[in-house]
């Protein structure tokens, strides 16, 4: 049986004009399970600087560790406008409370399969983990 995990949701923000450094998306982890989870994150975002050599620059949100109760959500990352030029993603480790099993999943922020409401004022797109 497949374990039910919290979901990852991308919420676009309305920008007031052109600013490449402005945050235009927030990424949330939503614990829509009946279980308490501990999550930890690590950015997988990068931009290729030199196509010939393959040189890249890593960027993205700082890593974090958070306990999520059932029905709780937490902002785990932000994406600035310029970051969309590269790969934007995150690795999330999930550990259900009172369990020793860790599940690692990677998420590509550019994907989204369906609409999802994080809260009444936060609507976004559900991001499926990469296979």
Q: Would you say residue 2 lies in a domain?
A: no
C-alpha 95/C-alpha 40 separation (Å) is: 9
Q: Would you say residue 1 lies in a domain?
A: no
C-alpha 107/C-alpha 115 separation (Å) is: 16
Q: Residue 104: give its domain's CATH number.
A: 2.60.40
Max intra-chain CA distance, the chain: 49
Is residue 107 within 8 A of residue 94, CB to CB? The reply is no
Contacts of 51 (CB under 8 A, 6+ apart): none
Q: Using the structure block, give the residue that is written with the tokens 């099993």.
A: 101
Q: Would you say residue 81 lies in a domain?
A: yes
Q: Would you say residue 65 lies in a domain?
A: yes
pLDDT given at position 80: 92
pLDDT given at position 51: 86
Per the structure, the complete domain to which residue 46 belongs is given by 7-127
Number of domain units in the chain: 1
Going residue by residue through the chain (131 aa), what tens digit of pLDDT does each one get? 467 999 999 999 987 667 778 899 999 999 999 999 999 999 999 988 888 898 888 898 999 999 999 999 999 999 998 898 899 999 999 999 999 899 999 999 999 989 999 999 999 999 999 96
**Around Cβ 3, how many Cβ atoms within 10 Å?**
11
C-alpha 126/C-alpha 54 separation (Å) is: 31
pLDDT given at position 75: 98
């Amino acid at each position: 049986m497949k374990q039910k995990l919290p979901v990852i949701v991308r919420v676009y923000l309305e920008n007031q004009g052109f600013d490449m450094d402005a945050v235009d998306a927030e990424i949330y982890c939503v614990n829509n399970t009946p279980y308490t989870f501990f999550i930890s994150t690590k950015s997988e975002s990068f931009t290729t600087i030199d196509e010939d050599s393959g040189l890249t620059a890593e960027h993205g949100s700082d890593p974090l560790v958070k306990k999520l109760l059932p029905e709780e959500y937490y902002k785990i990352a932000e994406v600035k406008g310029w970051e969309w030029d590269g790969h934007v993603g995150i690795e999330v480790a999930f550990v259900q409370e009172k369990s020793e099993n860790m599940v690692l999943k990677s998420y590509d922020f550019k994907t989204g399969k369906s609409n999802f409401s994080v809260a009444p004022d936060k609507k976004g797109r559900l991001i499926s983990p990469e296979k």
